[in-house]
C-alpha cells in the first residue's frame, strides 16, 4: 500500500477527539487546502468558512430566473414554485421562500450570488465530480493531490515535523466531523487531521514519538503517532478557545434540529474565542433529490429541498448575527458549493437528476452583495438531458477569494491551479484594508439607480480631498468606464457618470480615494 493510500484510509480513524456542543471537531494541523486558502506566509486574521452541500444542489429551485418563468414551468410543471411565491432579489432573479432570511441578508449587503458555477465538460458522478471540485482539476485530468494540499506542501515543507510551533500554535483549519477532504491531500501525505470522538483519544507520549520498526509499516506508524500527538495539542487549544467565548445570537435553533447551524455555532464560538484558525469546513448532506424533492400533493414551496434550503438560511443567518454581536463580522467570509447542480427538466418522480452548473452563495459583511452574471438561459422546451450551462468556472471563485482575502499572489495561483482563471469580484473592493489604515466610503449614493441606457447617473459623496477615481466594472471585474480620475477638493461632490455605450445589466461603481474605497451596484435598464 502506498503511503498516500494508507493515510487516506486511516486519517479519520487514527486521530483523537474533541467534542464541542456535542459535535466532533476535526482539526487540520497543516492542511493543503488550508494553506492554499490561507497563504500562511501572510499574517492575517481573516477566516474563510466553506459549506459543502453534499449530493448536488438544485440551483434552479434555489435561485430562480424570474425572467424565464414560462420556460421554467414548462420544464418543471410539478416542481417549480408558483411565481408569486418567489422572493425577488432583483427584477430578474429571485430566491426560494424558505431562504427569506438570506434575502434579508442580500438586501442588507451581506450575501452575494454567483450564477451558473461549474467547469467545462462536467462529470455527473458524485465521486468524480467531488474529486474535481476538491482537487481543482480539469474534468479529463485525475489528480491525486488536493489543490490546497499542493499549495501547503510548498509553503510548509516538512510537515508534520515541527508543528505546532510558536508561529503556528493553533490548527490552521478545522472541519466539523471526521471526514478529511481530498482538498488537503499533499503530494506525499494527507495534510489534514481529523478528530473523530472523545472516546478515541490516544494517550500522548510527552517529548516525542515512540520508536517504530525500520519497515514500511513502521514508518507509517511513526507518522500516525506524530499526527496523534499533534491532534492532542490542537485539541487543547480548541477547548481553551471554546471556554473563552459563548454564542450570543438567539437565532440558532435548538441543538440537533439543524446540523449545519450546530456546526456554524461552533465556528462562531471558536473565532470569537480567539483561535487563529483561518479555515473552517462544514457540511450539509441530503441534496441528491432524485425523488420527492417536492411533495406529490400540496405546495411546491415545501418538501425535502425546501427543508434543506431553509436549514442553510437559518444556519447562515444565525451565524452572521452571532459574528456581528461579537463584533468580528468583518473577519469572516463564507461560501457554499455542491459537486453539481440538477437537470433543467424535472423527472417523473417529482425530483431532478444529476446536472451541471449551479449558483454558489458567498456571505459576510465583506462580500459584494450582488447577483454575479445573468440568469441561465433556459430552452423553451427542455429535454431530459438539458443542463444549465457554465458561466463561471469554480476555480475563478477559488482564486478570486484567495487573491482578495488571503493575498495569494497571481504567480502562486497559477502554480496551484495550472493556469490562470478570470477574476470574479465576489468580495468588496478593499476588503483586506485594515481599519487602522483604511476606511470604507460607506455613505455615497448613486442616482438614478437603476438608470436608463444611453443616459447618465450621478455619484454623491463627501470627499476627503485629494486624488479621486470613479470607475465602473463589469461582473467579471473588468473596468468599462472611468468617469473621474483627478484631484478634487474636500467637501460634498456631485459627480456625473456617463453610461452611454454600455449594455444593460449590473455594474460595480467604485469610488477610490487615497486609503478609502467603496462600491455600489449600478443597474442599467
436 pLDDT band, cuts 50/70/90, is: very low
Band of pLDDT at residue 339, cut at 50, 70 and 90: very high
Cell numbers for 487:
484631484
If pLDDT is split at 50, 70 and 90, which confidence band does 223 have?
A: low
Measured at the CA of 43, the angle between CA 40 and CA 49, to 5 degrees, comes to 65
Strands 63-65 and 93-95: antiparallel
- Can you say whether residue 158 is alpha, beta or left, with left for phi > 0 and alpha for psi between -120 and 50 degrees? left
CATH code, 439-524: 2.60.40.3080
Count of CA atoms in the C-beta half-sphere (13 A) of 362: 28
Look at 65 and 439; give whichever has higher pLDDT.
Answer: 65
d(CA 519, CA 430) in angstroms, rounded, equals 9
| Residues pairing with 26 in the sheet | 175
CB of 265 closer than 8 Å to CB of 252 = yes
User: Which tens digit of pLDDT belongs to each residue from 133-145?
Assistant: 988 899 999 988 7
Task: Give me 365's grid cell.
Answer: 459583511
Burial readout 139-174 (b: 16 or more C-beta within 10 A, e: otherwise) = eeeebbbbbbbbbbbbbbeebbeebbeeeeebbbbb
Listing DSSP states for 413-437 in one string gives HHHHHSS-------B-TTTT--TTT
The answer to whether 156 and 40 have CB atoms below 8 angstroms apart is yes
CA–CA separation, 55 vs 308, rounded Å?
Answer: 12
Q: Which pLDDT belongs to residue 56?
A: 98
Per-residue model confidence as pLDDT tens digits over 451-506: 999 999 999 988 888 888 898 887 666 778 989 888 899 999 999 999 999 998 87
pLDDT band at 251 (very low <50, low <70, confident <90, very high): very high
In the prediction, which pLDDT does 10 show? 39
Between residues 374 and 466, which one has the greater pLDDT? 374
User: Has residue 438 got a pLDDT over 80?
Assistant: no
Cis peptide before 508 (omega within 30 of 0): no
Q: What angle do CA 107, 401, 422 make, to 5 degrees?
A: 100
Q: Is the pLDDT of residue 358 over 80?
A: yes
Instruction: Please give the residue that has the higher pLDDT: either 149 or 307.
Output: 307
- C-alpha span between 46 and 58 (Å, rounded): 30
Grid cell locating 88? 425577488
CA distances from 412 to 150, 399, 403, 484 (A): 11, 10, 10, 33
Q: What is the predicted pLDDT for the residue at 99? A: 98
User: pLDDT per residue over 21-69, tens digit each?
Assistant: 555 555 544 444 444 454 444 567 898 898 989 999 999 999 999 999 9
pLDDT mean over 228-257: 81
Which of 212-226, 279-293, 321-335 bottoms out in mean pLDDT, i.e. has the lowest?
A: 212-226
- Across the chain, mean pLDDT equals 82
On the CB side of 467, how many CA atoms lie within 13 Å of its CA?
A: 3
Residue 162 confidence (pLDDT) above 50: yes
Inter-residue contact 517 to 430 (CB < 8 Å): yes
What's residue 140's pLDDT?
95
The CATH 2.60.40.3080 portion of the chain extends over 439-524
Cα angle 427, 270, 257; round to 5: 90
> C-alpha cell of 379?
430552452
Query: Of how many residues is the chain composed?
Result: 525
Q: Which residue has the higher pLDDT, 92 or 17?
A: 92
pLDDT interval class at 159 (50, 70, 90): low
> pLDDT tens digits for 164-220?
777 777 777 777 765 666 776 767 766 655 544 222 222 322 334 456 677 767 666
Per residue in 384-431, pLDDT (tens digit) is: 999 999 999 999 999 898 889 888 788 888 888 899 999 999 998 767
Strands 111-118 and 392-393: parallel
The residues facing 486 across adjacent strands are: 468
Amino acid at each position: 500500500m502506498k503511503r498516500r493510500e494508507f493515510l487516506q484510509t486511516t486519517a479519520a480513524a487514527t486521530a483523537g477527539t474533541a467534542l464541542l456542543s456535542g459535535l466532533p471537531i476535526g482539526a487540520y494541523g497543516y492542511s493543503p487546502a488550508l494553506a492554499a486558502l490561507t497563504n500562511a506566509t501572510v499574517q492575517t486574521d481573516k477566516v474563510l468558512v466553506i459549506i459543502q452541500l453534499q449530493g448536488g444542489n438544485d440551483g434552479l429551485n434555489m435561485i430562480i430566473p424570474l425572467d424565464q418563468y414560462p420556460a421554467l414551468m414548462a420544464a418543471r410543471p410539478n416542481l417549480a414554485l408558483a411565481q408569486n411565491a418567489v422572493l425577488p432579489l432583483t427584477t430578474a432573479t429571485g430566491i426560494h421562500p424558505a431562504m427569506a432570511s438570506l434575502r434579508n441578508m442580500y438586501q442588507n449587503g451581506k450575501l452575494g450570488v454567483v450564477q451558473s458555477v461549474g467547469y467545462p465538460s462536467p462529470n455527473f458522478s458524485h465521486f468524480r465530480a467531488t474529486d474535481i471540485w476538491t482537487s481543482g482539476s480539469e474534468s479529463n485530468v485525475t489528480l491525486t493531490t488536493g489543490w490546497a494540499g499542493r499549495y501547503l506542501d510548498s509553503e510548509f515543507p516538512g510537515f508534520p515535523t515541527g508543528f505546532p510551533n510558536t508561529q503556528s500554535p493553533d490548527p490552521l483549519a478545522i472541519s466539523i466531523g471526521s471526514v478529511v477532504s481530498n482538498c488537503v491531500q499533499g503530494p506525499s501525505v494527507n495534510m489534514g487531521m481529523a478528530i473523530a470522538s472523545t472516546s478515541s483519544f490516544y494517550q500522548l507520549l510527552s517529548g516525542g514519538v515512540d520508536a517504530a520498526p525500520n519497515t514500511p509499516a513502521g514508518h507509517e506508524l511513526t507518522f500516525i503517532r506524530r499526527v496523534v500527538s499533534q491532534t492532542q495539542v490542537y485539541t487543547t487549544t480548541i477547548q481553551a478557545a471554546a471556554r473563552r467565548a459563548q454564542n450570543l445570537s438567539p437565532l440558532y435553533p435548538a441543538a440537533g434540529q439543524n446540523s449545519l447551524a450546530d456546526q456554524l455555532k461552533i465556528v462562531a464560538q471558536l473565532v470569537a474565542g480567539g483561535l487563529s484558525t483561518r479555515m473552517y469546513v462544514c457540511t450539509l448532506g441530503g441534496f441528491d433529490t432524485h425523488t420527492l424533492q417536492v411533495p406529490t400533493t400540496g405546495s411546491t414551496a415545501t418538501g425535502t429541498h425546501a427543508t434543506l434550503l431553509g436549514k442553510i438560511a437559518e444556519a447562515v443567518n444565525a451565524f452572521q448575527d452571532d459574528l456581528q454581536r461579537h463584533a468580528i463580522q468583518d473577519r469572516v467570509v463564507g461560501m457554499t458549493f455542491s459537486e453539481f447542480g440538477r437537470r433543467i427538466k424535472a423527472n417523473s418522480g417529482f425530483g431532478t437528476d444529476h446536472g451541471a452548473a449551479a449558483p454558489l452563495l458567498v456571505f459576510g459583511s465583506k462580500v459584494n452583495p450582488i447577483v454575479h452574471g445573468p440568469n441561465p438561459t433556459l430552452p423553451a422546451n427542455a429535454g431530459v438531458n438539458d443542463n444549465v450551462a457554465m458561466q463561471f468556472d469554480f476555480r475563478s471563485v477559488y482564486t478570486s477569494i484567495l487573491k482578495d482575502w488571503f493575498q495569494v499572489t497571481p504567480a502562486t495561483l497559477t502554480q496551484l491551479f495550472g493556469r490562470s482563471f478570470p477574476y470574479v469580484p465576489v468580495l468588496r473592493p478593499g476588503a483586506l484594508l485594515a481599519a487602522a489604515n483604511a476606511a470604507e466610503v460607506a455613505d455615497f449614493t448613486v442616482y438614478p439607480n437603476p438608470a436608463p441606457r444611453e443616459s447618465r447617473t450621478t455619484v454623491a459623496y463627501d470627499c476627503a480631498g485629494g486624488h479621486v477615481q470613479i470607475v465602473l466594472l463589469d461582473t467579471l471585474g473588468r473596468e468599462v468606464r472611468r468617469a473621474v480620475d483627478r484631484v478634487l477638493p474636500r467637501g460634498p461632490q456631485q459627480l456625473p457618470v456617463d453610461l452611454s455605450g454600455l449594455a444593460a445589466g449590473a455594474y460595480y461603481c467604485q469610488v477610490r480615494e487615497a486609503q478609502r474605497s467603496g462600491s455600489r451596484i449600478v443597474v442599467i435598464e
